[in-house]
Chains A and B, each alone.
Chain A
Amino acid sequence: EAGVAQSPRYKIIEKRQSVAFWCNPISGHATLYWYQQILGQGPKLLIQFQNNGVVDDSQLPKDRFSAERLKGVDSTLKIQPAKLEDSAVYLCASRLQGANSPLHFGNGTRLTVT
Chain B
Amino acid sequence: DQQVKQNSPSLSVQEGRISILNCDYTNSMFDYFLWYKKYPAEGPTFLISISSIKDKNEDGRFTVFLNKSAKHLSLHIVPSQPGDSAVYFCAANTNNNDMRFGAGTRLTVKP
Residues of A at the B interface (CB closer than 8 Å) are: 4, 31, 33, 35, 40-45, 48, 50, 55-56, 91, 93, 95, 98-100, 102-108
Contacts and interface: CB of A to CB of B under 8 A. Distances in A.
Contacts of B99: 33, 45, 103
Contact of A100 (B42, B93, B100): B93
Interface size class of B (residues with CB under 8 A): 20 to 34
6 contacts: A40-B9, A43-B89, A45-B99, A50-B97, A56-B98, A102-B34
Given A41-B103, A42-B104, A106 B93 contact: no
A45 B100 contact: yes
Contacts of B44: 43, 91, 105
A41 B2 CA distance: 11
Given A48-B97, A100-B51, A42 B4 contact: yes
Contacts of B36: 105
B96 interface: yes
Interface in B61-104: 89, 91, 93, 95-104
Interface string B20-61: 000000000001101010000111111001010000000000
